[in-house]
Structure 1
Amino acid sequence: MTSNDFSEWVKQYDESDIDLTNITTTKIHWDVCYSSDMKRAVKTAETMYKGELITTDLLREITIRSMFRSNVKLHLNVWLILGRFAWLINHPSQEEKYSTMERAQIFLNTVEESGKNDENVLIVTHGAFMTVLRQELLHRGYIGDKFTKPSNGRIYTFEKSL
């Protein structure tokens, strides 16, 4: 695919439906659920939480962009690797890098200031954003599961250390 094809693929992926067969079921009682406002996250949250969802764009997936514009066709995985590499080297094509870290901070500030962080809080978000959110949780003194690439539908737990 060309860079334009890749951009279209990202758009379609963001709007795609999900397969619920890999969703982790749990007997944990969730007091509150925050979810990304993207369709696939809301659908996941609705299967795991039976109360009223709090949806927010702060939990949206990080938009990956092609590192450069080209009509040369590359495999999808090449575009994805280039996008991740661009993120690591702070390439200007990945314009969301700093705003993504800020979104994680703003979201956690909102949860902590609401007092809900003393409850069982379910957060439904997306893989790449989860890695940024995990970094911010650890920075704030939470302890929890380790992952480099989160699995779809798996629950990762974090608790505030004393």
Structure 2
Amino acid sequence: MKIGLIRHYKVKRGYPNSIVSSAELMKWVEEYEASDVEENDVDLNGIEWKSCYSSSMQRAEITARSIYDRDIIFLDELREVPLSPLFPPKLKLPLFIHLLGIRLAWWFNHPSQAISKREVLKKINKVIDRVISENQDVLIVGHGGVMMFMRKELIRRGFSGPAFRRPQNGVVYLFEKENEKG
């Protein structure tokens, strides 16, 4: 059994200015969510994927539909973790400070965050349980942050696959069980 993780195509909306307020950051998030994507050729590793799961977010849906020509199962459980600002709406800070603060707040389950790490991991495990129960080659189209947690869980469950810190857009990362390679 093989599982292919793929991050959605690159989003055309670039990052905001280097110094932004929380309000400006959230406006950028809205623009990012609505942005078009830059399609690229995707190497599916010569595998005939038997099923495909995708995040229900637009950028993942566009990616999934362009690389998989059969029915796709769209799941909210695969959606990117939402950004929840930590600082007052008008306070301007470097973008990396906002993102670092949000990441740390999320990691430590700060009440400012819309969803806890525990809830995200529960959703990811639910999807992986479902995919593994199919016992066939499955492609999963998602988002970078979610993919990092999926990778960790797949490795924990005996799959092998490549390491990545920030997965590239439109690239399949192949995972398979050690005893099922070949």
Map 1:48-59 to 2 at 5 A. 48-59=67-78
Distance 2:30 2:99 in 1: 14
Would you say 1:46 and 2:65 are equivalent positions?
yes
1 or 2 for the larger relative contact order (CA 8 Å, sep ≥6)? 2
1:25 match: 43
When structure 1 is superposed on structure 2, of 51-60 and 89-98 the one drifting more is: 89-98
Please report the TM-score for the alignment, with normalisation by the length of structure 2. 0.78
Whether 1:98 and 2:137 are equivalent positions in the alignment is: no
C-alpha contact 1:67 1:91 (8 A) present in aligned 2? no
- Counterpart of 1:107 (choices 127, 148, 157) is 127
Of the three residues 142, 145, 159, the one matched with 1:128 is: 145
CA contact (8 A) 1:34 1:53 kept: yes
TM-score (norm 1): 0.87
C-alpha distance in 1 between matches for 2:120 and 2:71: 26
Normalized per residue, the structure richer in strand is: 2
Match for 1:99: what amino acid? E
Measured after TM superposition, the shift of residue 70 of structure 1 is: 3.7
Match of residue 29 from structure 2: 10
Number of positions where the alignment pairs a residue of Structure 1 with one of Structure 2: 158
Q: Which has the higher helix share?
A: 1
Aligned-pair CA distance for 1:147: 0.8
The more displaced of 132-141 and 71-80 is 71-80
Tell me by how many angstroms 1:31 deviates.
0.9
- Identity within the alignment, %: 37
Aligned residue for 2:171?
154
Note the 1:56-75 alignment, pairs <5 A: 56-75=75-94
Segments ≥4 residues shifted beyond 4 Å: none
The unaligned stretches of length 5 or more in structure 1 are none
